[in-house]
Structure 1
Amino acid sequence: MTIASTSAQEGVRSRGRRAVGFGRELDAGGSPSDPATLRLTGEFELVVAGRSLAIPHAAERVLAYLALAGRSVARPRIAGSLWPTSSAQRAAKSLRNVLWRLHGDGLNLVMAQYDRLSLNPEVRTDFSELETLAYRLIEEPKPETLARLPLLIARAELLPDWGDEWLVSDRERYRLTRLQALESAAHALVSTRKLRQALMAASAAIEADPLRESPRRAAVQVQIAQGNVTEAIREYCEYRALLRDTFGLVPTRALNDLLKPWWNPEETLP
């Protein structure tokens, strides 16, 4: 079934589930003809059969919205979220136009069932894979999970160049989940004396939230374990100055106590 017939006959619900976007209908098993991946961390990228495929930005937004939703969504809700300043009629038309433009050769990315749309479940997204990795690191950082830590370090932000309001909650959720995963990984790696990897994780967490103390503690622990006490003191002083200038606060005793065998931070407070 084509998108044209779908648009003309949206009231005919017996048509059931079909695929739209990048051409051919799904096979009997519902699989796309070529592997496809959506990359939502950093710049948006659609990779089909190992090659990057350029699509209009409006189509990028529809695919990203469906990928982050993780379920089927009613067309009016999609249209209203993506075109909030348009009337309902114009927003619905804009969504239909995007689906038309997605209708090409080679792959089906969007599933349509009655008045609801969803991302084809066979399409991989880096966001869902990174989120799964982060949760595993938080719950139980096993060696095989820690081995994938560089991937989480490299993928710092969800579509950072997009200013869409509907992205805000997902972006913040990913930021916090990633941050907690980096902290968990850093402490696990310190405990197993994998200090270089621990410092990488702690540094990435500090970059994500410079005012958060727990990754600073991990970084100080690593530097002390490496015998770099002066570097640990420098890390502490940098954090203390930032905390004082931003909130008028000082680091907690837990951080101070890490340095007391060599240097008493409380005696050097301004």
Structure 2
Amino acid sequence: MLNRNQVPMGADGYGELKLELLGSWRLCRDGVVVHVATRQQRLIAALAIKGPLLRNYLVGLLWPEYPDSKALESLRVSVHLISRQVPGLIVNEGRMLYLSDDVDVDLRRVRLQARALGGAGLQADPASLLDGLHDAQLLPGWYEDWMMVEQSRLQQDRLRAYVAVASHALAVGDTGTAEAAAEAAVEIEPLYETAVSLLIQAELQHGNPAAALRAYERYRKQLGEDMGLLPSESVSGLLTGPLERRPGLGTERSVPPGHPWLSGQPALDHA
């Protein structure tokens, strides 16, 4: 039986194990792909995502439709196959199973990055860490209930991180980072008012009122279509000044303050 006090995996001759869960499933040992059956993939993924788990919890999570005896047998078979095919990957402590701490899991890195970006102070360089969160989709195409909960949780972690970065960057005048982070947040949740507000403010600070107006219009349109609502005054009010100062283009003229467009009408009047 393995335990957490054992010599690191590489020293025991297991090799370097890397597990990728973002974008698609991929397990490698010393750079060589290890092909694992779908049932074993599910078990490995559950341990990588949720951490140490009791066997009784695992069987209910992965085989909810099976009677307890059959589910426990399925778990025993899966653990045996994984231990034989990929030694050093799973630590077996009887009632408890977990993934070895020595396994390099991409999801763990992304979660750490999200916490670093979402934490107070933003000690790390936010611009460099943003790339690590880009397209971090947890096993798309896996539609089990527990996996969809974890997918949503990762999306929310990324959303909070992007909003924190955008807010911090805006405060220190880094409009490029603020735009990129706010845009990424809006891609995750187009109707999140805080993210939309940050994007509009970043575009305005960057001297790009046209982009701010486009961001507002996308938000206004989708909010109306999906929720039957109009933007709040805290969002529409961000554009009052830029609309007052916006020069006319041809026969178009700027929308005056208080124009009904700010409550859902088209952006421009026509002469």
Normalised to the residue count of structure 1, the TM-score between the two structures is 0.82
**Structure 1 residue corresponding to 2:65, chosen from 63, 73, 85:** 85
Does the CA contact (< 8 Å) of 2:113 and 2:132 recur in 1? no
User: Cα RMSD between the aligned structures?
Assistant: 2.2
Aligned residues: 246
Q: Is structure 2 residue 131 aligned with structure 1 residue 147?
A: no
Q: Is structure 2 residue 11 aligned with structure 1 residue 29?
A: no
- Residue 166 of structure 1 aligns with which residue? 146
**Structure 1 residue corresponding to 2:160, chosen from 159, 180, 183:** 180
Residue 266 of structure 1: how far off its partner (Å):
5.1
- Residue 99 of structure 1 aligns with which residue? 79
**Structure 1 residue corresponding to 2:34, chosen from 41, 53, 75:** 53
168-177 vs 240-249, greater mean Cα deviation: 168-177
- Residue 267 of structure 1 aligns with which residue? 260
- Compared CA separation, residues 265 and 223, structure 1 to 2 (3 A): farther
- Compared CA separation, residues 216 and 266, structure 1 to 2 (3 A): farther
Cα distance in 2 for partners of 1:187, 1:229 equals: 19
- Residue 120 of structure 1 aligns with which residue? 100
Identical residues among aligned pairs (%) = 25
**Structure 2 residue corresponding to 1:244, chosen from 224, 229, 247:** 224
- Compared CA separation, residues 70 and 194, structure 1 to 2 (3 A): same
178-187 vs 137-146, greater mean Cα deviation: 137-146
Residue 83 of structure 1: how far off its partner (Å):
1.1
Deviations 1:154-199, CA, capped at 9 Å, x for gaps: 31x2222101122233222222111011111112222333333322
- Compared CA separation, residues 265 and 118, structure 1 to 2 (3 A): farther
**Structure 2 residue corresponding to 1:258, chosen from 215, 219, 238:** 238
Cα distance in 2 for partners of 1:48, 1:189 equals: 40
Cα distance in 1 for partners of 2:99, 2:83 equals: 14
Does the CA contact (< 8 Å) of 2:170 and 2:178 recur in 1? yes
Q: Please state whether the residue corresponding to 2:230 is helix, strand or coil.
A: coil
Cα distance in 1 for partners of 2:69, 2:87 equals: 29
Identify unmatched segments of 5+ residues in structure 1. Answer: 1-16, 20-25
Does the CA contact (< 8 Å) of 2:163 and 2:181 recur in 1? yes
Deviations 1:78-130, CA, capped at 9 Å, x for gaps: 12211111121221222222223223466410011122211111112222221
Normalised to the residue count of structure 2, the TM-score between the two structures is 0.82
Cα distance in 1 for partners of 2:108, 2:191 equals: 27
Q: Is structure 2 residue 211 aligned with structure 1 residue 227?
A: no
Residue 226 of structure 1: how far off its partner (Å):
2.4
- Compared CA separation, residues 145 and 116, structure 1 to 2 (3 A): same
Letter in 2 for 1:267: P
- Residue 8 of structure 1 aligns with which residue? none
Does the CA contact (< 8 Å) of 2:162 and 2:182 recur in 1? yes
Residue 207 of structure 1: how far off its partner (Å):
1.1
- Compared CA separation, residues 105 and 60, structure 1 to 2 (3 A): closer
